[in-house]
Amino acid sequence: MIHTESLTRTFRVGRETVEAVRGIDLDVAEGELVAFLGPNGAGKSTTLRMLTSLLPPTSGSARVAGVDVTEHPAEVRRRIGYIGQKDGAGHNYRVWDELLMQGRFYGMGKAEAKAAAESLLATLDLTGLRMRKVSSLSGGQKRRLDIALGLIHGPRLLFLDEPSTGMDPQNRANLWEHILRIREERGSTIVLTTHYLDEADALAERVVIIDHGRIIADDTAEALKRKQAGDRLTVVIRPEQAAGARALLATEGSEPAEKPDADGLALSVRVEAASHAMPGVLERLRAAGVDVIAASARQPTLDDVFLNLTGRSLREGES
C-alpha cells in the first residue's frame, strides 16, 4: 500500500537548512493500522504530508496506493483520505454543504454524495447537526466532521495527522471508537501520527518511532516494549544488606540499578514477565537473609522504549 525509499525533506530557514525527514524507508501493507510516534518536530507530520502529496520530497521516492507521489500527486490524492491537524471544515459553511461539496470534489455525483453524506452523518452521530454552521460545533463534533470529510469518497487508505490532539479523554475515546468501527466495516488501511503514548499503544497494530527525521524503531507495541525495554522488578531493602541483594538480583536479570528510597534502597532489575518472577525472587532474597521492605513489578511503556532508544522521555512533548 505504501513503499518509500530514502524519503527526505529539507527546509530552508533563513540561511540554515533543516533536515526534517532524513531518508525514511517504509513499507505498509494493506489493512494495517500504523502509528508514527515521536516528539513534536520529529518529522512525523512532514512524512505524512509527503505521503499525501501535500509536500514534495527533496529526494527519495514514495509510492502510495500504487502511485508515485512526485510524478502523479493528483492521482495519489484521488485514492486516499486525509484528515489534517486543524479543522478541515470551513467555519462559515454548513455541515451538510461541506460534506456534499467534498464528495463533489472527488467527482461523485450529487445523489452518490448525498447518500454517502447521510450514511456518515449517522455513523458519526452528526445527523442532528446537518444544517448547523461549522463555527457553532464543539471541538469533538468538528473532529468527527473532519473524519466524515476524509471518508466521504470511501478511501481504502486513510491518513490522520494528530487526530486527537487537544481533545479531552472522553472525546478522544469517542473519536477512536468511531474510527475503529469504520475501519472494521471498510477494511481500511490507516496511517496516523501521534505523540500520545497511550493512543499508539492501545490502537496501533504497528508503531513506527520517528526521532530527528529518522525511523529508530518499527514493530508492534508489545514487541518494542519487550525488546527495547522489558519488565522491571524493583525491591526496596535496607542499605546495609545491599551487597547480598545486588549479587542475587544480578543472577535473576540485568545488572541492578540503585536509587535511594524513603524506606531504604531501591534496587531495580530488568527481568522477563516480572509479575510472575516476583514471588520466586522474593523467596530467594529472604533465603539469602535479605529483608524486603517493599516490592513492585512494572510493565514497560512506549515511553520506556523511547527513553531506552534516545535517552529522552516522550512525555516532555506530551500535552
Partner 1 sequence: MVAISLPAPPRTGLLADVGHVWWRETLTIVRDPFSLIFSLLQPLVFLGLFGPLLAGVAGGTAAFGGSSLQWFLPGVVVMITMFGTSMTGANLQFEIMTGAFERILATPLSRSSLMIGRALKELTPLVVQAAVITLVAIPFGFVLYPLHVVVGLVLLGVFGVGIGALSYALAIAARKTEWIFWAVQQSLLFPLLILSGMMLPLETGPGWMQVVSKFNPLTYVVDAERVLFAGGIADTTVLWGFVAAILTAVVGLGVGIRAIRRATI
Interacting residues toward partner 1 by CB under 8 A: 1, 3, 11, 27, 29-30, 49, 52-55, 63, 65-67, 74-75, 77-80, 82-94, 97-98, 101-102, 104-108, 146, 149, 153, 155-157
How many CA atoms does the CB half-sphere of 121 hold within 13 Å?
Answer: 20
Q: Cβ of residue 128: shortest distance to partner 1, in angstroms?
A: 18
Residue closer to partner 1 (CB basis): 104 or 284: 104
Beta-sheet strands, E only, within the chain: 2-13, 16-28, 33-37, 59-64, 67-68, 80-83, 157-161, 189-194, 206-211, 214-219, 231-237, 257-261, 264-271, 292-298
| Residue with the three cell numbers 540554515 | 16
Residue closer to partner 1 (CB basis): 153 or 195: 153
Residue closer to partner 1 (CB basis): 146 or 211: 146
Q: Cβ of residue 216: shortest distance to partner 1, in angstroms?
A: 22
Q: How far apart are CA 70 and CA 225, in angstroms?
A: 36
Q: Cβ of residue 250: shortest distance to partner 1, in angstroms?
A: 44
Residue closer to partner 1 (CB basis): 10 or 296: 10
Q: Cβ of residue 265: shortest distance to partner 1, in angstroms?
A: 52
Residue closer to partner 1 (CB basis): 174 or 188: 188
Dihedral sign, Cα of residue 237, residue 242, residue 245, residue 246:
positive
Q: Cβ of residue 151: shortest distance to partner 1, in angstroms?
A: 12
The DSSP symbol for 14 reads: T
Closest CA to 173 of 195, 152, 143, 153: 143
- Sequence-distant (6+) residues with CB within 8 A of 311 are none
